[in-house]
Amino acid sequence: MTPVSPVLAALGVLAHFLPGLTRPDLYFAVTVDPRFRRTDAGRRILLRYRSILWAFVIAAIALIPLIGQWALAIELAGFACSLADAHHRTLHYAEPGGTAIEVDLAAPEEHFPVGPLIVLLPLAILALLALWASRHWGQLPQRIPVHWGLHGADRWITRTPAGIYWMLGVDALLSIGLVVMAWGIFHWSKRASSGGARGAAERRYRRRSAQLLLLITFFPPAQAAIALLQPKHPGLWIALGSVPVVIFLVILIRYRQGGGDRAPDSCWKLGAIYYNPADPSIFIPKRFGIGYTVNFGNVRSWILLALILAPAICLGFFIK
């Protein structure tokens, strides 16, 4: 078994159980009676979803010797197909009253979960790495690894001022972009929920989602530190750094989506893409999966995505 096979199998297991991680009144991104998933029709839809999913997972694993890591694309395509099919079939059982919007006007004011010092810490780490690189230039290898796969380093930059300082600059922009996304979850998403325990659950879910993004802001400087400082066993350091993220994901699974949105089911395309030009929100809780997604019907969402992705795309010109 190649090292890619366990990864594909693990992703398949995660996708297998994802339908059970949503609120009872959501099923494949469709508003339904909370009891629907336990009906014969609900079980048939779930069985079909999992059958399609695992057919693609098995095919992807079988094709690894021929196409290598590109097998992941086959598995992702299978996941998209199985979700789209289940979403389409579940729409026939949608609750007629599932399009009403409830806004919790009595909800208490929410504050950003951390202070400015924590937000600026990743940038401070990158600044220190830039200073260290300038003073230890001769100790750096000619080819500096910047990405590691299952078989070790697979992407490099050359030891040039443009390559190193551009890498650090891109990492800084990525950290800033993640902070903006965390801030946006608080200020660019509508608080659509009922009051009481359900509203409190939604606020807790929003806070944990923002905290997860803020935790991930430390990944770009951590990657830069591994690239420049060249520690032994970089894969071990990457794995250790992933532990807090896994813990936060488990917490989000525990809280699920809280209050969630009450947008029309028709705004959720293929069960995963939210498109609603009438909604001024940029971020909205996912109906299938964990965390938040963007409103692709809002022009500001596209601008935000472009600003976040542009630095990473530019870095590709320096990676060999």
Question: Would you kindly state where each structural domain of the chain is located, as residue ranges?
Answer: 4-93, 116-315
Q: What is the per-residue pLDDT across 78-127, written as a single tens digit (0 to 9) for each?
A: 999 999 999 999 999 998 754 444 454 455 666 777 777 778 899 999 99
Q: What is the per-residue pLDDT across 120-159, written as a single tens digit (0 to 9) for each?
A: 899 999 999 999 999 988 888 888 887 666 566 667 778 8
Q: Which of 238, 192, 189 is nearest to 209 (CA)?
A: 189
Q: What is the per-residue pLDDT across 172-227, written as a single tens digit (0 to 9) for each?
A: 988 888 888 888 888 888 765 555 666 677 777 888 888 888 888 888 888 888 88
Q: What is the per-residue pLDDT across 260-314, written as a single tens digit (0 to 9) for each?
A: 566 788 888 988 899 999 888 899 888 887 788 899 999 999 998 888 777 767 6
Strand pairing class (268-269; 283-285): unpaired
Distance of CA 292 to the CA centre of its chain: 8
Please report the beta strands in 197-311, taking only residues with DSSP state E, as ranges in sequence order.
268-269, 273-274, 283-285, 292-294
pLDDT on residue 99: 46
What does pLDDT average to over the chain?
A: 82
Q: What is the per-residue pLDDT across 11-61, written as a single tens digit (0 to 9) for each?
A: 899 899 988 888 788 899 898 998 999 999 999 999 999 999 999 999 999
Q: What is the per-residue pLDDT across 302-313, written as a single tens digit (0 to 9) for each?
A: 998 888 777 767
* pLDDT exceeds cutoff 70 at 315: no
pTM of the model: 0.78
pLDDT on residue 310: 77
Rounded CA separation 272/289 (Å): 9
> How many CB atoms sit inside 10 A of residue 10's CB?
10
Rounded CA separation 8/75 (Å): 7
pLDDT on residue 90: 95
Distance of CA 295 to the CA centre of its chain: 15
271-277-280-285 Cα dihedral, nearest 10 degrees: 0
